[in-house]
Structure formats: structure tokens, C-alpha cells
Amino acid sequence: MPYVNVKVAGELDREQKKKIVEGITKLLEEVAGKPPSATYVVIEEISRDNWGKSGKLLSDK
């Protein structure tokens, strides 16, 4: 049972989330032979105020 956790900075719309879930599920089926019914994908939207890179918050860019 694959479990994939995707973390993104900021928010995605419903269509973007749908495409991500479909794409990851399809990739695991094609590459690893995992059935779609066994694949879980969780998308976590992290506020840019709560994510940093290179010593700076992403919201400061």
C-alpha cells in the first residue's frame, strides 16, 4: 500500500490537486505495479510564512 505525502508551499486549487493525485497514482501503477485502489496520496498545503529556504521565509520573497 503506497502512501505518498506531498507538501507544497501555498495553496493549490481543486483541479491542481486532482491532477497531482491522478499523476502520482498513475506513476506508481506504471512503475511499481501498484493498483490505484491501494494508493493513498495526501497533499499538505503549508503557509509560505511557515516554510523557509536559504535562511528566509518563502513569504519574504
Residue 36 is among the residues annotated as catalytic for this protein: no
Q: Active site residue: 1, 2, 24, 35, which one?
A: 2
Query: 7 to each of 30, 35, 58, how far by Cα in Å?
Result: 23, 23, 14
Q: Which residue has the cell 481543486?
A: 14
Give the HSE-up count for residue 57: Cα atoms under 13 Å, Cβ half-sphere.
Answer: 8
Q: Which residues are catalytic?
A: 2
